Chains A and B, each alone.
Chain A
Amino acid sequence: MQPHIPEYTAALGEQDFLLSATIRRPGAEQAKSFLTQGAYSSGLTLRDDYQFVEYDTKLGYYKVSQLPFPDTPFWHLYKMKPAVAQTVPELLNDYFLGACSISTIYQTVCNIDIQRHDYLIQIRTPEPNILLQQQLATFVYNKLQQWQGNCPNN
């Protein structure tokens, strides 16, 4: 990964898989509709027991959980400051950075869905790489184009 994205954190050595991608190809319109349903907005508006908020001063995003930090097993990352009266933007990627959890292997792992043309790419990577999500999605998209060309009949 690092030759393609130098900032990428490879925490556990070269034998570890630090990025996985779940790829769907529902079409551009449907992919967009997946990302405009207000998913994960309850953390941004502090509903459904989301009440614990931490601001990461180094990385500049908000962490929200239903349980107190640092013992919570699940938390969400937001670009915007969570508040009861917060307005939820239409597109998921304009306010949400990822859904994270404790991982036995990588300490923390986060998931985020990103659209690239008619693909819906779900990136799964350790939290330190979450701000690289757009580059990672582009990397995966470029790989898909390359893999299409690998097939003799394409």
Chain B
Amino acid sequence: MAPGCLAVLYFICPPTFTGPSGATLAILLAMALETKLMRILTHCCAWSLLFTLSSCSEVFADFERIQLGNQQYCIPKEYRPYQYGRTSRVFSFAGADTDNRPASLIVQFQGP
């Protein structure tokens, strides 16, 4: 039950477990799951699952999270967001040379 719960949490929302806070949460959860208090654990697991689902609801949402500089943007997929890499080379204004520009974001807007 306990490892299964952890596995479910991990696979439902991997981004939650990729950063330091995610790792800490995973360790604490694993430690808690080692205790004998199965009923508490069951509740804990259920609440953790619920919390994780709510916090990573954007995985299922209709937008994409994109980082531009130090700011994040959650853009509806209808705008077809696309991002260049941070060191992508693009044509300069003159059109003759290339230079390294900051990461850029491309979006498209529909007609009427």
Chain A residues near B (Cβ < 8 Å): 1-3, 10, 12-26, 34, 37, 39-40, 92, 99, 113, 139-140, 143-144, 147-148, 150-154
Neighbour of A148 across the interface among B72, B95, B110, CB < 8 A: B72
Give the residues from 68 to 83 in chain B that come closer than 8 angstroms, CB to CB, to chain A: 68-69, 71-76, 79-80
Name the B residues within 8 Å of A18 (CB-CB): 109-111
Min CB distance A59 to B, Å, is 21
CA distance A147 to B95 in the complex (A): 31
**Contact A23-B69, Cβ < 8 Å, known A37-B93, A39-B94:** no
Instruction: Please tell me if the beta carbons of B105 and A23 are within 8 angstroms of each other in the complex.
Output: yes
Question: Is B107 located at the chain interface by the 8 A CB criterion?
Answer: yes
Contact assessment for B68 and A19 in the assembled complex, using a CB-CB cutoff below 8 Å: no
Chain B residues, Cβ within 8 Å of A153: 72
Chain B: interface residue count, which band?
Answer: 20 to 34
**Is A21 in contact with B106, judged by CB distance below 8 angstroms?**
yes
Contacts A/B (CB < 8 Å), 24 sampled: A1-B112, A3-B112, A10-B112, A15-B110, A17-B80, A17-B110, A18-B110, A20-B107, A21-B106, A21-B108, A22-B106, A23-B68, A23-B104, A24-B101, A24-B102, A24-B105, A26-B102, A92-B93, A143-B79, A144-B73, A148-B72, A148-B73, A151-B58, A151-B74
